[in-house]
Structure 1
Amino acid sequence: MTTPPPAAAGAGEARRRLAAPTIAMLPRVIDSLSFLYLDVVRIHQDDTGVCAEITTEARGRETVYLPTAALACVLLGPGTSITARALATFARHGTTVVISGMGGVRSYAATTPANLTTTWLEHQARAWADDTRRLAVATAMYEHRFGPGQAPPGATLQQLRGLEGHRVKALYKLLATQHHIGRFRRNYDPASFHTQDPVNLALSAANTCLYGITHAAITALGCSPALGFVHSGNQQAFVYDISDLYKAELTIPLAFSLHASTNPEAEARRSFRDNLRLYRLMPRIIRDLQTLLAPDNAPQTDDEPDEQLIDLWDPITGTIPGGTNHAPT
Structure 2
Amino acid sequence: MVKKSGTKKTSLRELPKISDRVSFIYVEHAKINRVDSAITVLDSNGTARIPVAMIGVLLLGPGTDISHRAVELIGDAGTSMVWVGERGVRQYAHGRSLAHSTKFLEKQAKLVSNSRSRLAVARKMYQMRFPGEDVTTLTIQQLRGREGARVRKAYRMQSEKFKVPWDKRDYRPDDFEGGTVVNQALSAANVALYGLVYSIVVALGVSPGLGFVHTGHDLSFIYDIADLYKAELTIPLAFEIAANYTEDDDIGKVARLKTRDSFVDGKLMARIVTDIQYLFEIDDEEELVIDTLSLWDDKDKLVKHGVSYTEN
TM-score norm. by structure 2 comes to 0.91
Question: Aligned AA for 1:109?
Answer: A
Are residue 316 (structure 1) and residue 303 (structure 2) matched?
Answer: no
Cα contact 1:120–1:290 (8 A) shared by 2:
no
Whole-Å separation in 1 of the counterparts to 2:23 and 2:291: 26
Which string of whole-angstrom CA distances, capped at 9 and with x for unpartnered residues, describes residues 49-102 of structure 1?
A: 321223x5xx7xx32222210000011111112222211211111100011111
Give aligned-pair identity as a percent.
Answer: 37
Which string of whole-angstrom CA distances, capped at 9 and with x for unpartnered residues, describes residues 6-27 of structure 1?
A: xxx99x95xx237x43456421
Name 2:15's counterpart in structure 1.
Answer: 26
Which string of whole-angstrom CA distances, capped at 9 and with x for unpartnered residues, describes residues 158-209 of structure 1?
A: 2221211111001101110111123341110123210211111111111111
Question: Aligned AA for 2:69?
Answer: R
Whole-Å separation in 2 of the counterparts to 1:161 and 1:195: 29
Which string of whole-angstrom CA distances, capped at 9 and with x for unpartnered residues, describes residues 23-45 of structure 1?
A: 56421111113200011112122
Q: How many residues align?
A: 307
Cα contact 2:21–2:266 (8 A) shared by 1:
no
Superposition pairs for residues 187-202 of structure 1, below 5 Å?
Answer: 187-202=170-185
How far residue 108 of structure 1 moved from its aligned partner, in angstroms, is 2.3
- More divergent stretch after superposition (259-268 vs 169-178): 259-268
Choose from 294, 298, 302 the match for 2:283.
Answer: 298
Whole-Å separation in 2 of the counterparts to 1:24 and 1:189: 42
Question: Aligned AA for 2:57?
Answer: C
- More divergent stretch after superposition (167-176 vs 43-52): 43-52
Whole-Å separation in 2 of the counterparts to 1:183 and 1:86: 44
Cα contact 2:19–2:266 (8 A) shared by 1:
no
Name 1:216's counterpart in structure 2.
Answer: 199
Name 1:268's counterpart in structure 2.
Answer: 255
Are residue 110 (structure 1) and residue 97 (structure 2) matched?
Answer: no
Secondary structure in structure 1 of the residue aligned to 2:228 = helix
Name 1:144's counterpart in structure 2.
Answer: 128
- More divergent stretch after superposition (92-101 vs 20-29): 20-29
Name 2:7's counterpart in structure 1.
Answer: 17
Higher RCO (C-alpha 8 Å, min separation 6): 2
Name 1:91's counterpart in structure 2.
Answer: 75
- More divergent stretch after superposition (309-318 vs 259-268): 259-268
How far residue 304 of structure 1 moved from its aligned partner, in angstroms, is 4.8
Secondary structure in structure 2 of the residue aligned to 1:253 = helix
Whole-Å separation in 2 of the counterparts to 1:319 and 1:25: 27
Name 1:45's counterpart in structure 2.
Answer: 34
Question: Aligned AA for 1:287?
Answer: T
Q: In angstroms, what is the RMSD of aligned CA positions?
A: 2.2
Whole-Å separation in 1 of the counterparts to 2:212 and 2:300: 30
Structure whose CA Rg is larger: 1
How far residue 279 of structure 1 moved from its aligned partner, in angstroms, is 5.5
Whole-Å separation in 1 of the counterparts to 2:41 and 2:306: 40
Whole-Å separation in 1 of the counterparts to 2:95 and 2:274: 22
Whole-Å separation in 2 of the counterparts to 1:312 and 1:25: 27
Which string of whole-angstrom CA distances, capped at 9 and with x for unpartnered residues, describes residues 115-158 of structure 1?
A: 5211110110000100111111111001112214342x432222
